[in-house]
Amino acid sequence: MDLTPKQAVILQRILSLGFELIAFPVYPNHVGIRRGNCAALLAPLGPDTFKVFAEPAYLVDGNLSARITLDGHDYFIWKKQQLEATPARRAELASFADDLAEALLPVE
């Protein structure tokens, strides 16, 4: 993926905040961002920035999960694997999403 200088600055800022780049081969046109057990896909938004593609997700076995409710309990699932969406995991995901949104503010 070719990046503009402003997009490169944004990625550097994201990395300086403790995030890391991660590849998701099924999404070759997106930039994967990870911190802890959470990840998101970024898509270029014009020449100046990125937008979050879909919503940040909790990783299950290293893969982006979906959040579902089953029998009154919330889970993060990927294929047949599931993790309970405990308050701690939901808080980690919320913190990840908030910090990433702040990091994606346009570069002046």
Instruction: For residue range 45-78, list pLDDT tens digits in order.
Output: 888 889 999 899 999 999 999 999 999 999 999 9
Residue 47: predicted pLDDT: 83
Residue 81: predicted pLDDT: 95
Residue 108 is assigned to a structural domain of this protein: no
- The number of domains in the chain is 1
Confidence of residue 105 (pLDDT cuts 50, 70, 90): confident
Q: Which amino acid is at 51?
A: K
CA-CA distance, 11 to 46, in Å (whole number)? 15
Q: What is the dihedral of CA 20, 74, 43, 4, to 10 degrees?
A: -30
Residue 13 is assigned to a structural domain of this protein: yes
Q: Please give the residue range of the domain that contains residue 70.
A: 5-103
Instruction: For residue range 23-39, list pLDDT tens digits in order.
Output: 998 998 899 999 999 99
pTM of the entire predicted model: 0.90
42-76 as b/e: b if 16+ CB within 10 A: bebeeeebbebbeebbbbbeeebbeeeeeeeeebb
Q: How far is CA 7 from the centre of its chain?
A: 16
